[in-house]
Structure 1
Amino acid sequence: MLASFVGGAGQIGQGTYSNVYKARDTVSGKIVALKKVRFDNLEPESVRFMAREILILRRLDHPNVVKLDGLVTSRMSCSLYLVFEYMEHDLAGLAASPDIKFTEPQVKCYMHQLLSGLEHCHDRGVLHRDIKGSNLLLDNNGMLKIADFGLASFFDPDRKQPMTSRVVTLWYRPPELLLGATDYGVGVDLWSAGCILAELLAGRPIMPGRTEVEQLHKIFKLCGSPTEEYWKKSKLPHATIFKPQQPYKRRIRETFKDFPQSALQLIETLLAIDPADRLTATAALRSDFFTTEPFACEPSSLPKYPPSKEIDAKRRDEEARRLRAAGGRANGDGSKKTRTRDRPKAVPAPEANAELQVNIDKRRFVTHANAKSKSEKFPPPHQDGAVGVPLDSSNHMDPLYEPPDPSSFSTVFTYEKGAVPTWSGPLADPAAVANQKRKHKSRSSKQPATARAR
Structure 2
Amino acid sequence: MGCVASKAPVTPALDSSGASLDLENSEEFLPPSLLWNRPQLSNYEFGDQSESEESKKRSSAGTSSVSFPLRNLNWCTEGEQVAAGWPAWLSAVAGEAIQGWVPLKADSFEKLEKVMQLEKVSIALARETDTGRIVALKKVRFDNFEPESVRFMAREIQILRKLDHPNIIKLEGVITSRLSCSIYLVFEYMEHDLAGLSSCPGIKFSEAQIKCYMHQLLSGLDQCHSRGIVHRDIKCANLLVNNEGTLKIADFGLANILNPGEKQPLTSRVVTLWYRPPELLLGSTDYDASVDLWSVGCVFAELFLGKPILPGRTEVIILALLHSYLSLEVYKLMNC
TM-score range (shorter-chain normalised) is 0.5 to 0.7
Q: Which residue of 1 aligns with 2:148?
A: 45
Instruction: Report the alpha carbon displacement of residue 78 of structure 1 after superposing the two structures with TM.
Output: 2.2
SS of alignment partner, residue 251 of structure 1: helix
Unaligned 5+ runs, structure 1? 225-248, 255-454
Corresponding position: 1:185 with 2:288: yes
Which one of 117, 125, 128 corresponds to residue 220 of structure 2? Answer: 117
User: Equivalent residues in 2 for 1:340-379 (5 A)?
Assistant: none
In structure 2, what residue type is equivalent to 1:51?
A
User: Equivalent residues in 2 for 1:184-333 (5 A)?
Assistant: 184-222=287-325, 224=326, 249=327, 251=329
Which one of 171, 189, 203 corresponds to residue 68 of structure 1? Answer: 171
Between the aligned partners of 1:63 and 1:120, the Cα distance in structure 2 is 10
In structure 2, what residue type is equivalent to 1:25?
E
Corresponding position: 1:3 with 2:107: yes
Between the aligned partners of 2:220 and 2:180, the Cα distance in structure 1 is 35
Corresponding position: 1:161 with 2:239: no
Between the aligned partners of 1:218 and 1:172, the Cα distance in structure 2 is 13
Q: TM-score, normalised by structure 1?
A: 0.48
Between the aligned partners of 1:144 and 1:200, the Cα distance in structure 2 is 14
Instruction: Report the alpha carbon displacement of residue 252 of structure 1 after superposing the two structures with TM.
Output: 8.5
Between the aligned partners of 2:165 and 2:118, the Cα distance in structure 1 is 21
CA contact (8 A) 2:145 2:181 kept: no
Unaligned 5+ runs, structure 2? 1-104
Between the aligned partners of 2:223 and 2:118, the Cα distance in structure 1 is 22
Deviations 1:164-190 (A, max 9, x none): 100000000000001111111111100
Query: Where has structure 1 moved over 4 Å in runs of 4 or more?
Result: 14-17
In structure 1, what residue type is equivalent to 2:288?
G
- The alpha-carbon distance between structure 1 residues 87 and 15, as it changes in their structure 2 partners (threshold 3 A), is farther
CA contact (8 A) 1:16 1:150 kept: no
Instruction: Report the alpha carbon displacement of residue 213 of structure 1 after superposing the two structures with TM.
Output: 1.2
Which one of 34, 58, 61 corresponds to residue 137 of structure 2? Answer: 34
Which one of 225, 229, 232 corresponds to residue 126 of structure 1? Answer: 229
- The alpha-carbon distance between structure 1 residues 7 and 218, as it changes in their structure 2 partners (threshold 3 A), is same
Instruction: Report the alpha carbon displacement of residue 250 of structure 1 after superposing the two structures with TM.
Output: 5.4
Between the aligned partners of 1:252 and 1:33, the Cα distance in structure 2 is 46
Between the aligned partners of 1:137 and 1:210, the Cα distance in structure 2 is 25
Q: CA RMSD in A?
A: 2.0
Instruction: Report the alpha carbon displacement of residue 158 of structure 1 after superposing the two structures with TM.
Output: 2.7
Instruction: Report the alpha carbon displacement of residue 12 of structure 1 after superposing the two structures with TM.
Output: 2.4
Q: Which residue of 2 aligns with 1:434?
A: none
Instruction: Report the alpha carbon displacement of residue 137 of structure 1 after superposing the two structures with TM.
Output: 0.5
Corresponding position: 1:172 with 2:250: no
Between the aligned partners of 1:80 and 1:252, the Cα distance in structure 2 is 52
In structure 2, what residue type is equivalent to 1:174?
P
Instruction: Report the alpha carbon displacement of residue 19 of structure 1 after superposing the two structures with TM.
Output: 1.0
CA contact (8 A) 2:163 2:223 kept: yes
Between the aligned partners of 1:124 and 1:252, the Cα distance in structure 2 is 37
Q: Which residue of 2 aligns with 1:23?
A: 126
State which structure, 1 or 2, has the greater radius of gyration over its C-alpha atoms.
Answer: 1
Deviations 1:229-266 (A, max 9, x none): xxxxxxxxxxxxxxxxxxxx253896xxxxxxxxxxxx
Q: Which residue of 2 aligns with 1:102?
A: 205
Q: Which residue of 2 aligns with 1:404?
A: none
Between the aligned partners of 1:15 and 1:155, the Cα distance in structure 2 is 28
Between the aligned partners of 2:171 and 2:185, the Cα distance in structure 1 is 7
CA contact (8 A) 1:33 1:84 kept: yes
- How many residue pairs were aligned? 229
Deviations 1:207-248 (A, max 9, x none): 1000111121112222x3xxxxxxxxxxxxxxxxxxxxxxxx
Q: TM-score, normalised by structure 2?
A: 0.65
Corresponding position: 1:79 with 2:182: yes
Out of 174-183 and 66-75, give the one that drifted further. 66-75
